Amino acid sequence: MKSQSLIILMLSVAVSSPTSLAELPGAVTTLIKTHCIACHGSKTREGDLRLDTLEANFSDSQTAAKWIEVMDNLNLGEMPPDGEAQPPVELIEQTTDWIATELRDAAMQAKSTGGRVLMRRLNRSEYANIVRDLLAVEFLPGEGPRDLLPPDGTLNGFDKVSKALLLDPSLMEKYFEIASIVADKAVITGPPPVPTRRNRMEYEEIDGGIGYIKESRTTIVTDTGIITMSQGMRSDDNLRHPWNGQLIPVRGRYRLRVRVGADAKDREALYMRISRGGDGDIYFGKVPGTLDAPEVIEVERAFDVPGSDEIGIQFEDAPPFGTVNYHFSDLNRAADAAITGGDAQRAGRLRAQMGAQGFPNQGREHPDSRTTDHMPRILFDWIELEGPLYDQWPPRSTQVVFHRGLNQSEFGPAYAREIVARLLPIAFRRPVDDTEVDRIAKMITSEQHHGETFPDAVKSGLIAMLCSPEFLLVNESAPDRSLTADDGPRQLTGHELAFRLSLFLWSSIPDEQLRIAADNGELQSVDQLLRHVHRMLNDDRATALVDGFARQWLKADEFDRFAVDRNLYRDFYSTRNAGLNEAINAEPLEFFRHILNTGGSVLDFLDSDWTMANEPLARYYGIDGVQGREFTRGALPADSHRGGLTTMAAVHKFGSDGNRTKPVERGKYVLDVLFNDPPKPPPPNVGEVEPNVQGENLTVRQRLDQHRTIPACASCHRTLDPYGLALENFNVVGQWRTKQDGERGWWPDEAVVDASGTLPNGVTFTTIEEFRAALRDQSDRFLRGLSEKLFTYALGRIVEPSDRTTIDGLVKHMKANNQTLQSLIEGIVLSDAFRTK
């Protein structure tokens, strides 16, 4: 939020009581008196709208709706109607600005908590992390609480705010269900159902049903494997688990390893796709290694039982090589029929078979394949599947819960009480009293009396723990405190502060060290508090700041909101760009992670000479020397035009509709994300930039200019559009362009991109480099915006006018400390707002 609106807000709070026309700002009164009242006055009331008595009471929805009508009609130029005297543009602007500000303030008040942190429930990421840290329980992907709980509501962009984290009966029901899943997963008393085993298949030894691969003209069998020039590869019985003769005997985690090598010949690289029929891609990317020195691709992930018993490997973009094959047509027809018949699984199996057999690359013998020396090829050495994998047995979680083991003779009320007394303070994030422990311990014993086994009875105790309001709600009303929360701000207790801190940095509960510090009252000391902040930021769990804060701040979940047009941007979908879209989406988050981990300056978000890239992205950006799928820091070449968030392809994709760029959306993104100053919403039904009419070749910018013919609209767009038009040199998929592209296949030479502009502060620019410099010049505005965003995330409430000095202090602290995220985090943690309730 910009400082200006804060001041206006403070003023408007004082005058929020209903007013008559006389109390409106001068410009508004002038406009209404001179141009409106003749028709919308006491006598005529046209359109049932009377403006002489309309009060400035924006918290009343009926009144606010009438003001919106006034604003929209002024903005659209529909009022005063044609033929009447038109008010000066400045007067319209002042009036619409005033209405918009008043509306925003009224909305703010509706969200306001009066600067207090309200009780809220855990969001689903926090729930999942806490269960992990409390019970050491692990879930397969897609099976954990994060996947099972419904997505959380958000307010001001974050899922941490009390008013958005609602609790309804169906969610409560879900909490019971998930708590029982967690308890079942945590307490395991039997032996592992299926033993872990590693099965390997040597490709040169294949026979039986898939032995034909060796006979094909497109393969060469060697001592160590099979080299193929077109054909993919399949697996046979040797890869199946002897427990029940299936590839995947039981749902679980498995490790797949394939040893391969490539001879790309005249190609840059070869690509392959590993898949299991009916189970999607396991790997899609470059073939590593060479024929002489093959390398191993290793993928560890969860597999479920349903699906094919074969692992197929497809040679992507393989050279055409083959003869007429009716088998292919038959398979294709059968697959189509299966889809129509609703049997998607069978269709998937057939398609996988087609893929593995090298279809649809087969056709009539290709002239190029009469001799084969020049043809690229892949060596398949062996394939290995290991699993189901267990870290240990019984799982660590069972040992965490039953700290004295699963010895029958121990089972009884005393052990139950001990278990509860150990876990409950961690789960409730505070010391607990005997009554609380007894309540659950007695319930466990009573379950036993009803015939449940001791471990099962303990599960019930765990469920009660996980469904208690003391667990699900962030409760900052410690029982040992005499003040109630409505008595005004008070210092948090050590345990409350510890939990606020761990929620902020880890989205989880305090660890043992932090708990002990809270027990000993050490967190009241600033030095001790900071020591823990630094310790916690260096812990792996601090990745929660990336997954929680950065992801929401940068709107990373929306990068794919529009799909890139397949016909216009074919290269984007080409095999050599395997993994590119994922890499593009990850770049801004990795950038944040790097700054967080290395103590870099956040101003690099405005402009930088480096970025984070893996091989597919580095290739795309023209960064040399980056190998593999892991992200590393890479220096941007001088001529890359890139540097900072606004030049990242993810942002360009976000600000496009998959077909053409949307400069207004990009501008909105920049203002919201970098400056926390989103523009006011447009009047309704303003529509989109129209496509070119037949025979015209206007660029998006030219059409946008046409679009803004109404002076009142132009005034708002003037502050918004330059931030988006500055990025016009980046197309829908973030590639550099100097000529218009998108929307259609061909553009004339004169359709040149113009990315120049003037920012609202008067700074002009003609190139992206100048624009980046202009952003850097607004670093104070950016630091303020970022502080407000992280403050909202840390406290789970919106920034209020009374936080003004706090935010000022945060910005100052950052500037004195090289603008690091650490300094911002320190500043927030040490602020009164964070340490009081």
Partner 1 sequence: MDKDNSGKLNAESGDLHDFDIGFPLSTLGLRKMPNTHARQISRRTVLRGTGGVMALPLLEAMLPQTANAVSVAASTPKRLGLFYFGTGMNMREFEPQDEGRNYTLSPTLRVLEKHRDDFTVFSGTFLKHGGGHDGDYTFSTGVKAKDNGAIRNSVSMDQIAAEQLGRETRFPSLQMCVERGTGFGGNLRTLSWNRNGVPLASENDPHVLFNRLFKVDGPAEKELRERGFRQRRSILDVVMEDAKRLERQVGKQDGIKLDEYLTSVREVEQQLERDIDWNVKPKPAVDTTGMSDFSESCQVHMPAGQFSYDRYAKMAYDLIVLAYVSDSTRVITYVVRQESAGGSFPEFGVSKGFHELTHHGNDPKNLAELAKVDRIYMQQWGYFLDRLKSMKQPDGSTLLDHTLLGFSSGMGIGHSKDRLPTCLFGGKAAGVQHQGHLRLPEQTPLSCVWHTMLDRAGVDAGSEFQDSTGVIQELLA
Annotate 580-647 with DSSP letters as a single string: HHHHHHHHHHHHHHHHHHHT-BGGGGTS-SEEEE-HHHHHHHT--S--SSS-EEEEPPGGG---SGGG
Among 249, 252, 348, 757, binds partner 1 (CB under 8 A): 348
Q: Which of residues 170-189 bind partner 1 (CB under 8 A)?
A: 170-174, 176
Contact between 565 and partner 1 by CB under 8 A: the answer reads yes
Interface region with partner 1, contact rule CB under 8 A, candidates 24-32, 438-446, 715-723, 825-833: 438-446
Task: Tell me the two tokens of residue 310.
Answer: 């074969």
Closer CB to partner 1, 335 or 825, in the complex: 335
Residue 278 near partner 1 by CB under 8 A: yes
Rounded to an integer, what is the distance from CA 644 to the centroid of its chain? 19
Q: Which of 464, 584, 651, 725 binds partner 1 (CB under 8 A)?
A: 464
CA-CA-CA-CA torsion sign (571, 576, 578, 584): negative
- Cα 262 to Cα 587: distance, rounded to the nearest angstrom: 28
Q: Does 41 bind partner 1 (CB under 8 A)?
A: no
Tell me if 516 sits within 8 A of 535, measured CB to CB. no
Is 155 a binding residue for partner 1 by CB under 8 A? The answer is yes
Query: What is the closest distance, in whole angstroms, from the C-beta atom of residue 662 to partner 1 in the complex?
Result: 9
The region of 264-272, 474-482, 533-541, 602-610 touching partner 1 under the rule CB under 8 A is 474-482
Stretch that binds partner 1, among 347-355, 570-578, 626-634, 727-735 (CB under 8 A): 347-355
The correct pick among 37, 339, 406, 773 for binding partner 1 (CB under 8 A) is 339
Q: Which of 255, 344, 351 is nearest to 303 (CA)?
A: 255
Question: Tokens 């897609």 appear where?
Answer: 142
Tokens of 453: 């086994």
The amino acid at 521: G
- Figure out which of the listed residues 310, 436, 604, 607 binds partner 1, where binding follows CB under 8 A: 436
3-state secondary structure 348-417: HHHHHHHHHCCCCCCCCCCHHHCCCCCCCEEEEEEEEEEECCCCCCCCHHHHHHCCCCCCHHHCCHHHHH
Paired tokens of 351: 């398609």
Q: Would you say 531 or 744 has its CB closer to partner 1? A: 744
Q: Which of 57, 345, 372, 719 binds partner 1 (CB under 8 A)?
A: 345
- Size, binding site for partner 1 by CB under 8 A: 90
* Binding residue for partner 1, selected from 76, 119, 140, 830, defined by CB under 8 A: 119
Candidate list 140, 188, 406, 443; residue touching partner 1; CB under 8 A? 443
| Secondary structure class of 810 (helix, strand, coil) | helix
- Distance from C-alpha of 547 to C-alpha of 537, rounded to nearest angstrom: 14
Comparing CA positions, the residue from 611, 680, 600 lying closest to residue 642 is 611
614 sits near partner 1 (criterion: CB under 8 A) = no
Strand-pairing partners, residue 226, are: 221, 380
Of 223-231, 506-514, 565-573, 600-608, which segment contacts partner 1 by CB under 8 A? 565-573
Query: Which of 563, 635, 752, 816 forms a contact with partner 1 (CB under 8 A)?
Result: 563
Span near partner 1 by CB under 8 A; candidates 9-17, 291-299, 346-354, 387-395: 346-354
Q: How far is the CB of 561 from partner 1 (least distance, A)?
A: 8
d(CA 598, CA 306): 44
Task: Rule CB under 8 A: say whether 658 interacts with partner 1.
Answer: yes
Per the omega criterion (within 30 degrees of 0), is the bond before 388 cis? Answer: yes
SS3 663: helix
Q: Is 503 in the site for partner 1 (CB under 8 A)?
A: no
Q: Pseudo-torsion of CA 470, 472, 473, 474, nearest 10°?
A: 90
Show the tokens assigned to 119.
């009780």
According to the binding rule CB under 8 A, does residue 302 interact with partner 1?
no
Stretch that binds partner 1, among 83-91, 150-158, 195-203, 732-740 (CB under 8 A): 150-158
What is the distance between the alpha carbons of residues 51 and 42, in angstroms, rounded to a whole number? 8
Kindly state whether residue 599 participates in binding partner 1, applying the rule CB under 8 A.
no
SS3 256: strand
* Minimum distance, C-beta of residue 19 to partner 1, in the bound complex (Å): 21
> Given the complex with partner 1, which of 689 and 775 has the nearer CB atom?
689
DSSP code at position 540: G
CB of 763 to partner 1, least distance (A): 29
Q: Which is nearer to partner 1, 167 or 635 (CB)?
A: 167
Does 120 bind partner 1 (CB under 8 A)? Our answer is yes
Least distance in angstroms from the C-beta of 664 to partner 1? 13
303/251 Cα distance (integer angstroms): 6
Q: Which stretches does DSSP call E strand in 691-833? A: 757-758, 764-765
CA neighbor of 429 nearest in space, from 487, 461, 483, 469: 469
Q: Which stretch binds partner 1 (CB under 8 A): 84-92, 114-122, 186-194, 403-411?
A: 114-122
Closest distance to partner 1 from the beta carbon of 547 (Å): 17
Near partner 1 in 60-79, by CB under 8 A: 61, 65
Considering beta carbons, is residue 171 or 421 the nearer one to partner 1?
171
Task: Using the minimum distance from each CB to partner 1, give the nearer residue, 176 or 243.
Answer: 176
Given 373, 486, 624, 750, the residue binding partner 1 (CB under 8 A): 486
**Cα separations in angstroms, 443 against 430, 456, 464, 465, 628:** 21, 12, 9, 11, 54
- Which residues in 363-422 contact partner 1 (CB under 8 A)? none
Burial class (CB in 10 A: 0-12, 13-18, 19+), 407: exposed
Residues 6+ apart with CB under 8 A from 665: 654, 655, 656, 724
At 617, which amino acid appears? L
If the CB atoms of residues 77 and 691 are measured against partner 1, the closer one turns out to be 691
DSSP structure string for 725-738: HTTTTB-TTS-B-S
Element (H, E) at 438: helix 434-449
Residues 673-692 that bind partner 1 (CB under 8 A): 681, 684-685, 687-691
* φ, ψ dihedrals at 120, nearest 5°: -140, 170
Contact residue for partner 1 among 371, 567, 694, 709 (CB under 8 A): 567
Residues 6+ apart with CB under 8 A from 795: 117, 160, 833, 834
Which residue lies nearer to partner 1 by CB, 263 or 447? 447
Residues 514, 516, 521: CA angle, nearest 5 degrees: 95
Amino acid at 155: L
Window of 130-138, 561-569, 761-769, 776-784 that interacts with partner 1 by CB under 8 A: 561-569
Q: Is 447 in the site for partner 1 (CB under 8 A)?
A: yes
Residues 689-728 that bind partner 1 (CB under 8 A): 689-691
Residues numbered 766-805 forming contacts with partner 1, rule: CB under 8 A: none
Token couple for 338: 């299966």
Characterize the bridge pairing of strands 226-228 and 219-221.
Answer: antiparallel
Segment interacting with partner 1 (CB under 8 A) among 9-17, 157-165, 241-249, 525-533: 157-165
Q: Which of 14, 22, 110, 638 binds partner 1 (CB under 8 A)?
A: 110
Return the residue of 221, 485, 530, 714 that touches partner 1, per CB under 8 A. Answer: 485
The CA distance from 155 to 165, in Å, is: 9
How far from 503 is each of 174, 199, 546, 687, CA to CA, in Å?
A: 22, 43, 13, 42
Stretch that binds partner 1, among 24-32, 205-213, 341-349, 539-547 (CB under 8 A): 341-349
342 lies in the binding site for partner 1 (CB under 8 A): yes
| Closest separation in Å from C-beta 341 to partner 1 | 9
Residue closer to partner 1 by CB (options 15, 344) is 344
Q: How many CB atoms lie within 10 A of CB 194?
A: 16
Interface with partner 1, residue 35, by CB under 8 A = no
Q: By CB under 8 A, is residue 13 in contact with partner 1?
A: no
**Cβ of residue 678: shortest distance to partner 1, in angstroms?**
9
CA 456 to mean position of chain CA atoms:
38
Q: Which is nearer to partner 1, 370 or 450 (CB)?
A: 450
Residue 460 sits in the site that holds partner 1 (CB under 8 A): yes
